[in-house]
Amino acid sequence: MKRFAGVVLVLAVLLLLPGRGFSQAPGTFTYIEQQIITASDPAAAVDESSLIAAINLYDPLLYPNVEKGSMEPRPHVAESWTLSPDGKVYTFKIRRGIKFHSGRDLTADDVVFSMDRALRMKKGFSWVWTPVLEPGRVRAVDPYTVRFELKDAYAPFLGSLLLFFILDKDLVMRNIRPGPYGEFGDYGVAFLERADAGSGPYRMERFDRATEMVMARFDGYWRGWKPNQLSRVSFKTVTEEATVKTLLLSGQADMVNQWLTVQGFRELRQAPGIVVKEDPSVQLFHLQMNTKKPPLDNLKVRQAIVAAFDYDTAIQQIFEGATKARGPVPVRVPGWNPKLPAMSRNTAKARQLLAESGVPAGALSIEYAYVVTLPLERQIGLLLKNNLEALGFKVEIRGEPWARIVELATRAETTPHITAIFDTLKYPHVDSHTYGMYHPSCWGTFRCMSFYENPKVTQVLEAARRATKPEEQTRLYQEAQAMIVADAPSIYVANPLHRIAFRDYVKGYRYVGLLGFDVAFYDFTISR
Amino acid sequence: MSFGTYLLRRLLHIIPALVGLSILIFLLSRVVPGDPARLALGPDATAEQVEQLRREMGLDRPLVEQYVRYVGGLFRGDFGFSLRTRRNVAQDIREFLPATVELTTVAMVIAVAVGMPLGVLAAVHKDRTADHISRLLALGGVALPRFWVAILLQLLFAYYLGILPTIGRGPAPPVRITGLFLVDSLLALNIPAFLVALKHLILPAVALSLGSLAQIARLVRANMIEEMRRDYALAARSYGLPERVIIFKYVLKNAFSSALTVIGLSYGFLLGNAFLVETVFAWPGLAFYGVDSLLFKDLNAVVGVTIVVGVAFAVVNLLVDVAYGYLDPRIRYES
């Protein structure tokens, strides 16, 4: 018995001695994300964690102009490009000297292969290109020139290429397995689970989907390396907010993602050695009104609701700081219409509009749906209920899981009267929050729960997409925004702040608005 | 009835239970709201993309056909394709199951190793200080939410004292044999790796064990008090046997048999319900994977996890039945 107790005691001492097994490995930068990396294949990446992996392991054809704090595309893998007068043919010159992690040179063939692969697989952001491209429409003119022949002029095309990542054709094709893509087998999907085929600043060293991706600096990266840049990165997944905060506060993490609560960031801001950076985001928070469902099929009722909502309380007390939304396009996005007014509560106007609507008081019964895991959306619902019940509405508030909201959005009959939605820019173009939300082709998705339809707006949006001159595009998109706002398909509440927290020795962070592009580890340096 | 027949009958009982479970979870996973193909592709996917994925997954076929194909796949070790991780669910389960098995096993070891002596102590010192302390601990174990205790343990031992790790399982041993880090490091005679793995296990296992620990302690206490009043205990005392022998050799053996049921049930329960503790400690286990899959309506993963947990539950309870039958032959004859 005494011997057993002795063994237990020795084991306990050994276990409680501080050890290095759980501390941060020296020279490794630790970034924490609260959602798993669902796709290590860049052609399937849509969420933030997967995009961060793609941005660091691969090179996109073009890159946002982060140096100027802008999301406008600038040269990257493509060093220059030309556009035909009809706006349909883009010709890109590929930069020489870019090496894949395999050591092979990146050429036009890899660009053609990567786009055809994306179009055939129909995953990730391929939906942005399928309206104007299909396999075979991208051709290599010579080893360093590639031509995209679009079916039609397409205003958001250039911007969308920031999300087009180039893969090493030879490496992928050497590693295909049987799969659904005919001669291309599985297109290397299984291979890309455990390795990368990119040319980005980091190469994948290890990937455990549920916990961690370790990336190591690629010495042959074409942009070169400067002192104090990160040589090794541990990209960890930790979902619990309390744990995420503990890791940052204790120095076991260097940077944590944007998905903490407002209260969480408030706590971190007060801690020594922690920087919480806030920027106006390219997100729109709005309350979509189902324009096909009575009484919201009545324009005056919708306008009354827009006038009745208390925007200032929402911004100051619920969001604890945000930019007041001015129409569907976030104010940071190039092409936003600056002539649109910021909304304020006007109860008298709301009452007048309601009286003009001719809808009897008994018919003013509506339901408000929100994502049940987001308490902020519930608070907004309570505010709306309070505002509208003062006018004689009956408001029922209903929390639903996200999966249910997506399901409800498929038909106008099942879509609630009002639904709270956070909608971030899908591609770096004003088209995302205009055509993508108010052209009838998007009906059936969560982005279009207003089922908005105005033939004139549809016409303007289509003309904007086909316009070849940037100034003409801008004019048309801004015209569409004004028309949409006048039809009140949504209560445009806020462009929330983007927040992220890191240790104060981390330098070089910059928010550009595009999902994931702010966490490009190549941009960071350590300065202690 | 011989012990072999008893075992065979118990084994046969498992089959209809598992068939029923598979039908139930298969149907339930398909009627809960949300289109899995749309959720997998992201809300921006076109209708064409969604349709293509639905065809690839066989979701456009009748439910009965889907079920038959699924069960056929199970016999080939094919659990279907996960929409979330984009690989076969069997591969995911192989990766995540050992972490949960290791965590749950260590938690149960703690629960039994602490719960049983606590129960004995409380029974022997009934209505005295030791009993009150044991009651308080047991009440705390049941009443305090596991995730909250987990966060407190994390703050104290990882953040303030810095003596135990905050998250994860630690580095994997160089050779993967069972996927259980403790076992693999011991098999490789790698003691430093064993200690690191054990350090990572302590906090999550303690947090996870509290509920079962409390249940075992209370049950052992109640049974012990009852057994200590029985004639055989009185007779032993009359013979002048030392109290320690009476308690540990005779009374505890009888009092422990009902705690065995609780241990079996708890083990099966924890396998599927370690979710909150796994979340707090970023533990890459099956429970976390299962709940994540459920939220994203990853059909094959949900069904796969449920079947694996169901099988584990059935196996653990079979072992408990066997142990019962072995310890108390009357149970076999009554069967």
- The string of DSSP codes covering A425-490 is -SSSSGGGGTHHHHSGGGTTSGGGTT----HHHHHHHHHHHH--SHHHHHHHHHHHHHHHHHH--E
First to last CA, chain A: 53
Secondary structure of residue B120 in the 3-state scheme: helix
How far apart are alpha carbons A480 and A489 in whole angstroms? 13
Strand (E) or helix (H) holding B245? helix B243-245
For the record, the structure tokens of B247 come out as: 């308690």
Q: Please tell me the distance in Å from A142's CA to the nearest CA on chain B.
A: 32
- Return residues 214-273 of B near A (CB < 8 Å): none
Higher pLDDT, B287 or A145: A145
Provide the pLDDT for residue B274.
86
Q: Which of A333, A323, A392, A404 is nearest to A362 (CA)?
A: A392
Q: Which residue has the tokens 């456009």?
A: B60
Residue B248: DSSP 8-state: I
**Rounded mean pLDDT of A231-236?**
95
Nearest to A122 among B49, B84, B151 (CB): B49
Whether the predicted pLDDT of A158 surpasses 90: yes
Answer whether A493's CB lies under 8 Å from A377's CB: no
**Rounded mean pLDDT of B274-301?**
86
Strand (E) or helix (H) holding A188? none
Higher pLDDT, A373 or B123: B123
Residues of B in contact with A126 (CB under 8 A): 49
Q: Is B42 on the interface with A (CB under 8 A)?
A: yes
**Rounded mean pLDDT of A352-365?**
91
Whether the predicted pLDDT of A345 surpasses 70: yes
The per-residue DSSP string of A269-330 comes to HTSTTEEEEEEE-SEEEEEEE-TTSTTTTSHHHHHHHHHHS-HHHIIIIISSSEEEP-SSS-
Nearest to A243 among B192, B196, B280 (CB): B280
β-partners of residue A91 are A82, A147
**Rounded mean pLDDT of A337-357?**
94
Q: Is B134 on the interface with A (CB under 8 A)?
A: no
**Rounded mean pLDDT of A62-88?**
93
How far apart are alpha carbons A481 and A182 in whole angstroms? 44
ipTM value greater than 0.85: no
Q: Is B54 on the interface with A (CB under 8 A)?
A: no
Answer whether A443's CB lies under 8 Å from A292's CB: no
Provide the pLDDT for residue B12.
86
The residues spanned by each domain of chain B are 1-84+296-335, 96-281
Whether the predicted pLDDT of A370 surpasses 60: yes
Higher pLDDT, B27 or A161: A161
For the record, the structure tokens of B54 come out as: 């639905």
Provide the pLDDT for residue B257.
77
Contact state of A36 with B35 under an 8 Å Cβ cutoff: no
Provide the pLDDT for residue A300.
97
Provide the pLDDT for residue A13.
56
Sign of CA pseudo-dihedral B265, B266, B271, B272: positive
How far apart are alpha carbons A24 and B162 in whole angstroms? 13
Contact state of A22 with B288 under an 8 Å Cβ cutoff: no
Domain A25-55+200-273+504-528 classification at class level: alpha beta
Whether the predicted pLDDT of A149 surpasses 60: yes
Residues of A in contact with B298 (CB under 8 A): none
| Burial classification of residue B54, based on how many CB atoms lie within 10 Å of its CB (0-12 exposed, 13-18 middle, 19 or more buried) | middle
Contact state of B168 with A211 under an 8 Å Cβ cutoff: yes
The percentage of residues in chain B with a pLDDT greater than 90, rounded to a whole number, is 24
- Return residues 279-308 of B near A (CB < 8 Å): 279-282, 284, 288-289, 292, 295-297
Q: Beta strands A274-280 and A212-217: pairing type?
A: unpaired
The per-residue DSSP string of A318-349 comes to ISSSEEEP-SSS-TTSTT--TTSPPP---HHH
**CA nearest to B201 within chain A:** A15
Provide the pLDDT for residue A21.
40
Range with the lowest mean pLDDT among A147-156, A484-493, B228-237, B290-299? B290-299
Nearest to B289 among A15, A210, A212 (CB): A210
Could you tell me if residue A224 is left (phi over 0), alpha (psi between -120 and 50 degrees) or otherwise beta? left
Contact state of A208 with B292 under an 8 Å Cβ cutoff: no
Task: Give residue A20's pLDDT band: very low, low, confident or very high (50, 70, 90).
Answer: very low
Q: In whole angstroms, how large is the CA radius of gyration of chain A?
A: 25
Whether the predicted pLDDT of B270 surpasses 90: no
Distances (CA, A) of B151 to A193, B211, B314: 33, 16, 32
Average pLDDT of the residues of chain B? 85
Answer whether A49's CB lies under 8 Å from A35's CB: yes
How many helices (DSSP H) and strands (DSSP E) are in chain A?
16, 20
Q: CB atoms < 10 A from the CB of A151, how many?
A: 11
pLDDT tens for A407-421 read: 888 899 999 999 999
pLDDT tens for A195-206 read: 999 999 999 999
Q: CB atoms < 10 A from the CB of A453, how many?
A: 15
Task: Give residue B265's pLDDT band: very low, low, confident or very high (50, 70, 90).
Answer: confident
Homologous superfamily in CATH for domain A59-190: Periplasmic binding protein-like II (3.40.190.10)
For the record, the structure tokens of A511 come out as: 């928010």
Q: Please tell me the distance in Å from A439's CA to the nearest CA on chain B.
A: 14
Contact state of A210 with B96 under an 8 Å Cβ cutoff: yes
How far apart are alpha carbons A63 and A201 in whole angstroms? 14
- Return residues 8-37 of B near A (CB < 8 Å): 32-35
How far apart are alpha carbons A159 and A71 in whole angstroms? 8
Provide the pLDDT for residue A10.
58
Provide the pLDDT for residue A16.
57
pTM > 0.90 = no
First to last CA, chain B: 8
Contact state of A239 with B282 under an 8 Å Cβ cutoff: yes
Q: Is B65 on the interface with A (CB under 8 A)?
A: no
Q: CB atoms < 10 A from the CB of A175, how many?
A: 17
Nearest to A239 among B47, B159, B279 (CB): B279
Whether the predicted pLDDT of A459 surpasses 70: yes
Alpha helices by DSSP H, A123-208: 126-129, 157-160, 169-174
Domain A283-497 classification at class level: alpha beta
Whether the predicted pLDDT of B65 surpasses 50: yes
Q: Beta strands A145-149 and A89-94: pairing type?
A: antiparallel
Contact state of B163 with A41 under an 8 Å Cβ cutoff: no
Whether the predicted pLDDT of B307 surpasses 80: yes
Provide the pLDDT for residue A2.
55
| Helices B252-273 + B299-327 axis angle, to 10 | 170
**Rounded mean pLDDT of A23-35?**
80
Whether the predicted pLDDT of B225 surpasses 80: yes
Using the CB atoms, write b or e for A15-44: b if 16+ within 10 Å: beeebeebebeeeebbbbbbebbbbbbbbb
The per-residue DSSP string of B19-48 comes to HHHHHHHHHHHHHSSS-HHHHHH-TT--HH
Q: Which of B180, B194, B195 is nearest to B103 (CA)?
A: B180
Distances (CA, A) of A394 to A5, A234, B263: 69, 51, 52
How far apart are alpha carbons A55 and A196 in whole angstroms? 12
**Rounded mean pLDDT of A289-302?**
97
pLDDT tens for B200-217 read: 999 999 999 999 999 999
Q: In whole angstroms, how large is the CA radius of gyration of chain B?
A: 24
The residues spanned by each domain of chain A are 25-55+200-273+504-528, 59-190, 283-497
What are the percentages of helix, strand and coil residues in chain B, rounded to 5?
80, 0, 20
Q: CB atoms < 10 A from the CB of A400, how many?
A: 19
pLDDT tens for A397-408 read: 999 888 788 888
Homologous superfamily in CATH for domain B96-281: MetI-like (1.10.3720.10)
Whether the predicted pLDDT of A22 surpasses 50: no
pLDDT tens for B154-203 read: 999 988 888 998 888 888 887 888 989 999 999 998 999 999 999 999 99
How far apart are alpha carbons A75 and A82 in whole angstroms? 12
Higher pLDDT, B130 or A63: A63
Cis (ω within 30 of 0) for the bond into B62? no
**Rounded mean pLDDT of A382-410?**
91
Backbone torsions φ then ψ of A417, nearest 5 degrees = -60, -50
Residues of A in contact with B159 (CB under 8 A): 246, 249-250
Instruction: Give Cα A253 to chain centroid, integer Å.
Output: 23
Whether the predicted pLDDT of A233 surpasses 80: yes
pLDDT tens for A165-215 read: 999 999 999 999 988 899 999 999 989 988 999 999 999 999 987 789 999
For the record, the structure tokens of A100 come out as: 């894949």
Q: Supply angle C-alpha A234, A235, A237, rounded to 5.
A: 125
For the record, the structure tokens of A105 come out as: 């040179």
Whether the predicted pLDDT of A297 surpasses 90: yes
How far apart are alpha carbons A153 and A433 in whole angstroms? 19
Q: CB atoms < 10 A from the CB of A97, how many?
A: 8
Task: Give residue A373's pLDDT band: very low, low, confident or very high (50, 70, 90).
Answer: confident
Contact state of B196 with A127 under an 8 Å Cβ cutoff: no
Backbone torsions φ then ψ of A132, nearest 5 degrees = -125, -5
Fold matches, A59-190 and A283-497: no
Higher pLDDT, B68 or A116: A116
Q: Which of A507, A502, A329 is nearest to A423 (CA)?
A: A329
How far apart are alpha carbons B145 and A273 in whole angstroms? 32
Average pLDDT of the residues of chain A? 92
Contact state of B159 with A246 under an 8 Å Cβ cutoff: yes
Contact state of B199 with A252 under an 8 Å Cβ cutoff: no
Q: Which of A234, A208, A239, A213 is nearest to A35 (CA)?
A: A239
**CA nearest to A189 within chain B:** B86
Provide the pLDDT for residue B88.
86
Q: Please tell me the distance in Å from B159's CA to the nearest CA on chain A.
A: 6
Provide the pLDDT for residue B244.
86
Q: Which residue has the tokens 């798993």?
A: A36
Contact state of A401 with B33 under an 8 Å Cβ cutoff: yes
* Chain A to chain B Cβ contacts (< 8 Å): 142
Q: Beta strands A232-237 and A28-33: pairing type?
A: parallel
How far apart are alpha carbons A489 and A302 in whole angstroms? 7
Nearest to A243 among B56, B166, B171 (CB): B166
Q: Residue A224: which residues within 8 A CB-CB, separation 6 or more?
A: none
